[in-house]
Amino acid sequence: MADSTISDTVFPTTPIVQLERCVLRPYHISDLEPMCKAANDPLIVKYMRDAFPYPYDTDAGMTWLKICKAEGLPVEEKADEAKPAAPDSSPPAPSPEMNVAICLLDGTFIGSTGLRAMGPDGTDRYTREIGYWIGRDHWGKGLATEVASGLGRWALSPASGILTKDGQPLRRIEAGVYAENAASSKVLERAGYVREGVRRQAVIKNGVMQDVVIYGLVASDLEK
Ligand SMILES: CC(C)(COP(=O)(O)OP(=O)(O)OC[C@H]1O[C@@H](n2cnc3c(N)ncnc32)[C@H](O)[C@@H]1OP(=O)(O)O)[C@@H](O)C(=O)NCCC(=O)NCCS
């Protein structure tokens, strides 16, 4: 059987996407305060998965920055400093996740986006799920549309450097939107994603069963 585990998918170490009005860059410790301030908003939490904490306090923000291996994090004390670690020349383990900060061109932090591996066994390895949120101060300016369009197109292009272990670029970017999230549906439709169907009663959010609308952008969409 072919080796097809999703953990074999290679991401570039420092993905940066330059868009017209914003840039997607790796997290930095200095994002902590503006990120927590913007994310601690019930109108954002409402449309995110339950893994997105509320209240979004400093601890929650630090946890996220550690998961994302943000630049500038304080070096944590090693439990066993007496024993020097053996030198390790192997490259860092590739990650099937990519999480980046969304900033205006002047550096202002405005939100987060990312790509997430799907499926447990590698069968979905040519697909990534896109996620995003934008701080409320910046809503309604077309920025999420720019991000969904730009990140999706970048991820599907060989220029991104994102390759599966088969040496191929990704083929599909997918998004699942709670049916009542009209703003996000509009974002994806304007960004060129195709509404493909509805997973009826697929999730429970805040105690309410919700349909999830599935959107997809596939490489051949970009040739049209
Ligand atoms: C969804 C979200 C990312 C949109 O960000 P944004 O930068 O304001 O998006 P854009 O400006 O590119 O486009 C939003 C569009 O939806 C429209 N919109 C906003 N609220 C709406 C509503 N309740 N019903 C219909 N359309 C709505 C806006 O008017 C805008 O369209 P327009 O430019 O034609 O006026 C932002 O609202 C957000 O972070 N929401 C919470 C988290 C979230 O939902 N993430 C996505 C999970 S799938």
Instruction: Please check whether residue 217 lies inside any domain of the structure.
Output: no
Q: Is the beta carbon of 147 within 6 A of some atom in ligand 1?
A: no
For the stretch 18-44, pLDDT in tens is 999 999 999 999 999 999 999 999 999
For the stretch 165-177, pLDDT in tens is 788 889 999 999 9
For the stretch 44-97, pLDDT in tens is 999 999 999 999 999 999 999 999 999 999 877 444 444 555 555 554 444 568
Amino acid identity of 46? K
Q: What is the bridge-based pairing of β-strands 172-178 and 127-134?
A: parallel
Residue 162's pLDDT band, with cuts at 50, 70 and 90, is: confident
Ligand 1 geometric centre to CA of 201 (Å): 22
Which residues fall within 8 angstroms of residue 10, CB to CB, at 6 or more apart? 94, 162, 163, 164, 165
Ligand 1 geometric centre to CA of 1 (Å): 44
For the stretch 184-221, pLDDT in tens is 999 999 999 999 999 999 999 999 999 999 999 999 99
Instruction: Please check whether residue 77 lies inside any domain of the structure.
Output: no
Instruction: Please check whether residue 166 lies inside any domain of the structure.
Output: yes
What is the predicted pLDDT for the residue at 1? 34
Q: Which structural domain range is residue 99 located in? A: 6-72+93-173
The order of strands in the sheet holding 194-205 is 17-18, 22-25, 98-104, 109-117, 127-134, 172-178, 208-218, 194-205
> What DSSP string describes 36-83?
HHHH--HHHHTTS-TTS-SS--HHHHHHHHHHTT-BTPPPPPPTTTTS
Answer yes or no: are the C-beta atoms of 60 and 72 closer than 8 Å.
Answer: no
Instruction: Please check whether residue 200 lies inside any domain of the structure.
Output: no
Ligand 1 geometric centre to CA of 85 (Å): 48
Number of compact structural domains in the chain? 1
Instruction: Please check whether residue 192 lies inside any domain of the structure.
Output: no
Instruction: Please check whether residue 182 lies inside any domain of the structure.
Output: no
What is the predicted pLDDT for the residue at 120? 85
Q: Is the beta carbon of 42 within 6 A of some atom in ligand 1?
A: no
Q: How far apart are CA 47 and CA 188, in angstroms?
A: 15
Instruction: Please check whether residue 102 lies inside any domain of the structure.
Output: yes
Instruction: Please check whether residue 22 lies inside any domain of the structure.
Output: yes
Q: What is the pTM of this model?
A: 0.89
- CATH number for position 142: 3.40.630.30
DSSP class of residue 28?
Answer: B
Q: Is the beta carbon of 132 within 6 A of some atom in ligand 1?
A: yes
